[in-house]
Every structure is written in C-alpha cells, then in structure tokens.
C-alpha cells in the first residue's frame, strides 16, 4: 500500500488517523495503486484494477470509510512509444543520457524528455477520451499539476459539469524506481486512479455517498438493469415505508401478443396509482396450455413522500 509505491515514511496517508491498520504488518487497502507493483512484476504491461478501498475519515455526504476505485497502468517499450529505429537513424531513447540526467519539474532524472512528452500525450489523450465518454464531448476539461509519490510529473484532470469543476482522477508518469523494483527495466509507463462513487454521484445526481449502501429497493430499482449509455437521474426516495401489493390476473384470451401487454399494465398501474406508485415489476408468469390462458403477477410498491401509507390507503 505504501512501500512499493515509494510513499515517504512521514507521508500523511500512512498515519493511523487516515489508514485502517489491522496490526503492525497489515492495513486495509487505501487505494488500488497498491496493486501496481505485483501486477507489473507478474509481467503485465497494461491493466485495470477495480476494488474497494478503505480510509479513515469523518462520515458525511461525500465521505464514507469504504469506497471504490479503478486503477489503470500502461507500459511502453521504446519501439511502441517512439517508433522503430531504421538503420542508422537517430531517434530518441526512453532513457536520459548525460547531461540530461537531472530531475526537473517536467521529467524524472532517468527519463528522456522525448519519452516523457510522448507518454504524456498518450496518457492525456486516453484520459480525455474517457472523460468525453463519461461527461460528453461538450464538457470543458482542464489539467492541473499535482503531486503523488509514485508519479512524476503528476496531474489531475478536472471537468466542468453541472456548474462546477469536478476532480475526476489523478495520474502521471510512473516513477521509474517503481518499475525497476518490479523488474521492468526497458519500459516507461503511466498510471491513473479514479474514485468511482464521486463520479457516479455527479453523473446520476446521487446526493449522498451513503446511499450506495442502501438496500432500499426504491433506490436500487432506479439502477437495476440499466446500461451505461442509459440516461439515469436519481429520484429522491421517500423516508416513509413501502406498502407492497402483489396483483395477479388472467390476460384476456383475445390478446395474442401477450408480451406486448406488460407495458400497458405498467402504464395502467401508474395511471391509477399516480405518484404513490414507486415501483412496478412483472414478477411471475404462468401459462395454462390446455385452456390457452396466461396469467401474470405484478408487484406494486406504494410509497408516499408525505406519510406512512396504510394498506387501506
Ligand atoms: N492512488 C491515488 C489516490 O488514491 C490516485 C492515483 C493518482 C492513482 C495518481 C494513480 C496515479 O495511479 O498515477 O488518491
């Protein structure tokens, strides 16, 4: 979690007030970056890691001790990044030669400036298109300089969405020492990390991170079965309890297109029940082949924003 990522001994993130220590040898994963070393060592040069991460923090609307991140790493060989050398051609190298072996704001001591710039272009293009995919091409983006112990140079990508600048991710050119300690000596790479709940909150209008832990079907049903391209806007759920009814009936034998009935039933239930209907779901179907009849069961969840409903109501 810290050592393999070159995190300084006195770095804030190591404090027991920030990280959950199980004992002196173990802590709960505080970021998905923790897997960079092992996965590079195993020989991978492009990977994504998705996982739950744990941080000690006050709990409020935007903070919860457990959340999720996605981590991405991409390593390049010289030829992949800068193109193949043809005979006698003088093309840049990944690594710096004297006198350019100094750490500067724009590069690490061991990297050539050309290789750093080329990786940076790849990194930024990749993450900008990810951002376009998530927030739409129209959304304005900006790169902000940042610091992470495991990258140099480091950046954060921000996007202007819903009237404010949102920090989407941290990233940078991976520290070469990190690659070397994982046994990678002939490549250079970039990495990024994204907090997933924060992005989902903005995209779907979820006002409180604690809602992700809700088992309330009024919350969960709003996302069930949706695909990433569907437009989803969270509708506030009521604090009052649900009243559940199951309703089953035989479909009219005249309607041959049974399957087309379902959305008619949904509409009818919503028309009759109005605002009080929180969810409708087809839960069972039965066909009596002999009699040529088919029945359906619908579960209707009623819930009011004003009060606890009685069964009669
Ligand atoms: N691990 C960082 C965090 O949790 C996020 C991050 C920043 C990941 C930069 C990276 C990176 O891979 O290159 O805040």
Q: What is the pLDDT of residues 278-300, one digit of tens each?
A: 999 999 999 988 988 889 999 99
| Length reported for the chain | 313
Cβ of 148 less than 6 Å from ligand 1 = yes
Average pLDDT, the chain: 93
The answer, yes or no, to whether residue 253 has pLDDT greater than 80, is no
Let me know: does 37 contact 5? Beta carbons within 8 Å: yes
Q: Give me Rg for the CA atoms of the chain.
A: 27
Asked if 239 and 268 count as a contact pair (C-beta separation under 8 A), the reply is no
pLDDT for residue 264: 86
Ligand 1 binding pocket includes 153 (Cβ within 6 Å): no
Residue owning the nearest CA to atom 7 of ligand 1: 170
Residue 93 has pLDDT above 60, yes or no: yes
pLDDT at 87: 72
Band of the pLDDT at 86, cuts 50, 70, 90?
confident
Please report the atom of ligand 1 found closest to the CA of residue 31.
4
Q: Which atom of ligand 1 is nearest to the CA of 72?
A: 12
* Residue 300 alpha carbon to ligand 1 centre in Å: 44
Q: What percent of the chain has pLDDT over 70?
A: 97
Q: 276-312: string of b/e by CB count within 10 Å (b at 16+)?
A: bbbbbeeeeeeeeeeeeebebebbbbbbbeeeebeee
33 Cα to the center of ligand 1, angstroms: 6
Highest mean pLDDT out of 84-98, 110-124, 252-266, 281-295: 110-124
Please state the atom number of ligand 1 nearest to the C-alpha of residue 71. 12
The dihedrals phi and psi of 154, each to the nearest 5 degrees, come to -125, 150
């Amino acid at each position: 979690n810290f050592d393999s990522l070159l995190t300084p001994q006195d770095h804030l993130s190591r404090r027991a007030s920030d990280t959950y220590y199980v004992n002196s040898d173990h802590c709960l994963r505080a970021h998905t970056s923790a897997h960079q070393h092992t996965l590079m060592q195993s020989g991978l040069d492009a990977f994504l890691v998705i996982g739950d991460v744990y941080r000690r923090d006050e709990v409020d609307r935007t903070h919860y001790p457990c959340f999720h991140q996605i981590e991405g790493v991409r390593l390049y060989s010289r030829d992949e990044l800068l193109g193949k050398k043809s005979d006698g051609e003088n093309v840049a190298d990944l690594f710096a030669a004297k006198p350019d072996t100094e750490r500067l704001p724009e590069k690490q001591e061991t990297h050539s400036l050309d290789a750093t710039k080329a990786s940076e272009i790849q990194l930024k293009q990749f993450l900008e298109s990810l951002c376009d995919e998530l927030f739409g091409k129209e959304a304005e983006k900006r790169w902000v300089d940042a610091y992470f112990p495991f990258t140099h140079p480091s950046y954060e990508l921000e996007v202007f969405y819903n009237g404010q600048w949102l920090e989407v991710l941290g990233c940078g050119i991976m520290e070469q020492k990190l690659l070397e300690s994982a046994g990678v000596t002939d490549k250079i790479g970039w990495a990024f990390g994204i907090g997933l709940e924060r992005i989902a909150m903005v995209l779907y209008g979820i006002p409180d991170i604690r809602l992700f832990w809700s088992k309330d079907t009024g919350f969960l049903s709003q996302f069930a079965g949706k695909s990433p391209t569907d437009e989803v806007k969270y509708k506030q759920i009521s604090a009052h309890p649900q009243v559940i009814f199951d309703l089953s009936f035989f479909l009219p034998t005249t309607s041959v297109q049974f399957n087309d009935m379902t959305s008619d039933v949904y509409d009818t239930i919503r028309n009759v029940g109005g605002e009080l209907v929180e969810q409708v779901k087809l839960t069972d179907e039965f066909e009596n082949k002999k009699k040529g009849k088919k029945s359906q069961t619908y579960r209707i969840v009623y819930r009011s924003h004003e009060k606890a409903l009685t069964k009669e109501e």
